[in-house]
Amino acid sequence: MGAGTRSELKKEIRRSGAAVDGKVVKDPGCSVSPSSHVVFRGAVIEYEEFVYYMLNKPAGIISASEDDREPTVVDLIDEPKRRDLFPVGRLDRDTEGLLLITNDGALSHRLLSPKHHVDKVYYARISGKVTEEDVRGFASGLQVDTDFRAMPAQLRILRSDSVSEVEIVIREGKFHQIKRMFRAVGKEVLYLKRLSMGSLTLDPALQPGTWRRLTAEELAELRNGL
Ligand code: URA
């Protein structure tokens, strides 16, 4: 529960002990259950089965749980560390925005399953003029390449110019999906940021690289939407 690393805790428990259901134990291998009452360093250790963090992913960081060579999105959650966190889905290294980090595998599975049709909203800057024809093409299900036809996606033009700004809603999460969709209509994504996933909307107060826990309401709404 974030009290320290395994090796630190083993040493400290051997030396100073912990109280489990009122008894002092000095064996770090002692089994405890989620309902055990554990006191360590004079404070009660609350067991929390699942945790949920909203991260504003910065560009330049990979969406993975761990990596031998570089920091990951999970490493940005610098609250006393749990070892079981992972990101729900992936954003490309250069994509910013909303990423849910959790240890709740069942919720993650449901959010990512194509069956549940969870809408993901992105803001993008595109090189070239995005047109009403692109909007219609995206809406009718774009043939992205020979073996991938995208599901209908809503494209909203915010600004159409030599660099355009758009909002796009997709329900799938295929590899490089939005970049590939724009490439299929001869345009390039210059900047991409995820704004929401289902009912969960990126908190505008979160700067890239920062996070906060989901509120109980956000979590309930996310679950209700599935
Ligand atoms: N589509 C992409 O191309 N990249 C992302 O990171 C997310 C959606």
* Model pLDDT for residues 47-70, shown as the tens digit of each residue: 889 999 999 999 999 999 999 999
The better pLDDT of the pair 203, 3 is held by: 203
Q: Report the relative pairing of strands 188-197 and 96-102 from DSSP bridges.
A: parallel
pLDDT attached to residue 80: 73
Q: What is the mean pLDDT of residues 86-111?
A: 97
pLDDT attached to residue 132: 98
Q: What is the mean pLDDT of residues 100-108?
A: 97
| Residue 218 CA, ligand 1 centroid: distance in Å | 23
H helix runs in the chain, sequence order: 6-16, 105-112, 132-139, 177-184, 216-224
Residue 123 in this model has a pLDDT that exceeds 90:
yes
State which ligand 1 atom lies nearest to the alpha carbon of 120.
8
Residues near 20 by beta carbon (within 8 Å), at least 6 away in sequence? 30, 32, 36, 37, 38
Q: With a 6 A CB cut-off, is 178 part of the ligand 1 pocket?
A: yes
Could you give the angle at the alpha carbon of 174 between the alpha carbons of 131 and 72, nearest 5°? Answer: 110
- Radius of gyration of the chain, Cα coordinates, nearest whole angstrom: 22
pLDDT attached to residue 203: 98
Q: Which of these is catalytic: 67, 78, 84, 92?
A: 92
What residue type is assigned to position 147 of the chain? D
Q: Are 54 and 214 contacting, i.e. CB atoms less than 8 angstroms apart?
A: yes
Q: What is the mean pLDDT of residues 128-133?
A: 97
Q: What is the mean pLDDT of residues 26-35?
A: 92
119 catalytically annotated: no
CA atoms within 13 A on the CB side of 107: 21
Q: With a 6 A CB cut-off, is 74 part of the ligand 1 pocket?
A: no
| Residue 134 CA, ligand 1 centroid: distance in Å | 18
Residue 114 in this model has a pLDDT that exceeds 90:
no
At residue 156, what are phi and psi to the nearest 5 degrees?
-120, 125
pTM for the model? 0.89
- Name the nearest CA neighbour of 51 among 99, 86, 20, 10: 86
Nearest residue by C-alpha to atom 2 in ligand 1: 176
Please, which pLDDT band fits residue 157 given cuts at 50, 70 and 90? very high
SS3 at position 50: coil
Residue 144 in this model has a pLDDT that exceeds 90:
yes
Residue 3 in this model has a pLDDT that exceeds 90:
no
Please, which pLDDT band fits residue 34 given cuts at 50, 70 and 90? confident
Could you give the angle at the alpha carbon of 225 between the alpha carbons of 219 and 226, nearest 5°? Answer: 100
| Residue 90 CA, ligand 1 centroid: distance in Å | 8
Please, which pLDDT band fits residue 115 given cuts at 50, 70 and 90? confident
Strand partners, 211: 55
Q: Give the lowest-confidence range in 51-60, 73-82, 90-99, 114-123.
A: 73-82
Q: Are 37 and 117 contacting, i.e. CB atoms less than 8 angstroms apart?
A: no
CA dihedral 12, 13, 17, 23 (to 10 degrees): 160
Q: What is the mean pLDDT of residues 17-29?
A: 94
Q: What is the mean pLDDT of residues 183-190?
A: 98
DSSP state of 72: B
